[in-house]
Amino acid sequence: MTADIVRDLGLLTLGSRLKRIGENLQVNTQRIMQEHGVTIQVTQYPYLAALDRDGALTIGEIAEAVGISQPGATRAIGQLAEAGLVDISVSDDDQRRRQVSLTAQGQDVMIFAREKVWPDVEAAVTDLCDGFGADLLLHLAAIEYGLAQRPLTQRILKHGKS
């Protein structure tokens, strides 16, 4: 069996390892969603959740809430609008800003998710992280905060080099 180079390289490949874990979690979450008959993509839920929690938001506010670029949020919101889950309208106070809100169908999807899908996903992830879930979340928050304060490019240790 070939050795797992991403695991073997430790912190050097932390980003690759986190991405691999994230993709694996998303694939498994998508399977749970399919078992519930949900047809949207797992990656679309955070956008719907932000709108469900906060009400109507601009594209920029959604991008900030989800933690992605504005062009990425624009694409995702466009897909959700095509699916009939969100409505995009011009803001009342600024004609240049577009407000995004859940449609009735989007609200139904969120009710179903909160009542049926999310409890199953959360239970499965809690089981996976049995005994260390809270610590893991604290460590992830520290990594995110640390990167926001000072990116890796500013953290390079010169090891005596000038």
CATH code for position 71: 1.10.10.10
36 falls within a domain: yes
102 falls within a domain: yes
68 falls within a domain: yes
Q: Which residue is listed with tokens 């519930």?
A: 36
For 149, counting Cβ atoms within 10 Å of its Cβ (0-12 exposed, 13-18 middle, 19+ buried), the class is exposed
161 falls within a domain: no
149 falls within a domain: yes
Domain hosting residue 64, numbered range = 5-154
Residue 39: half-sphere exposure toward Cβ, Cα within 13 Å: 7
When divided into structural domains, the chain yields a total of 1
Q: What is the DSSP string of 31-99?
A: HHHHHTT--S-GGGHHHHHHHHHH-SEEHHHHHHHHTS-HHHHHHHHHHHHHTTSEEEEE-SS-TT-EE
48 falls within a domain: yes
Q: Tens of pLDDT along 23-75?
A: 999 999 999 999 999 999 999 999 999 999 999 999 999 999 999 999 999 99
The whole-model pTM stands at 0.85
pLDDT of residue 159: 57
Please, which residues have CB within 8 angstroms of residue 46's CB and are 6 or more apart in sequence? Answer: 65, 66
160 falls within a domain: no
Q: Which residue is listed with tokens 């809100």?
A: 101
Q: Tens of pLDDT along 16-25?
A: 999 999 999 9
Please, which residues have CB within 8 angstroms of residue 69's CB and are 6 or more apart in sequence? Answer: 63
User: Is 159 or 7 the better-scoring residue by pLDDT?
Assistant: 7
**What DSSP designation does 113 have?**
I
